[in-house]
Amino acid sequence: MTLETFLLLAAALFCVGLFGALSQQSIVMLMMGLELMVNGVVVAAAGFWHWVSPGMPDGQVLVLVAITVMALEMAMGFAVVTALFRARDVDMTDDAGELRG
């Protein structure tokens, strides 16, 4: 695979995630769009790393760490959304914005 293929895939993931994040009002769908955008950045970083030093495993370790951090971030985000929904029956971004103290 060439660098252009990785960058095309990364751009497609980022664009789909951006559209999803900007067009949805559900908090869960917004988080899924943000996750796709971060995945696009990770794919681009992995493609660049493979292009710069193809024999070194450093890029693979960095990608694994980034994916682990993304999984933890999404788990925490879903926990907050679930707690918010259970406490106040809020699942849309407009309603959640009115909860400021």
Whether the CA torsion 68, 70, 75, 79 is positive or negative: it is positive
- Predicted TM-score (pTM) of the model is 0.79
pLDDT digits (tens, 9 = 90+) for 3-16: 999 999 999 999 99
Cβ atoms 92, 27 nearer than 8 A: yes
Whole-number Å distance between alpha carbons of 50 and 23: 33
Rounded mean pLDDT, 23-44: 89
Dmax over CA atoms of the chain, in Å, equals 52
Cβ atoms 55, 37 nearer than 8 A: no
Q: Percent of the chain scored above 90 by pLDDT?
A: 34
pLDDT digits (tens, 9 = 90+) for 45-60: 889 988 988 888 877 8
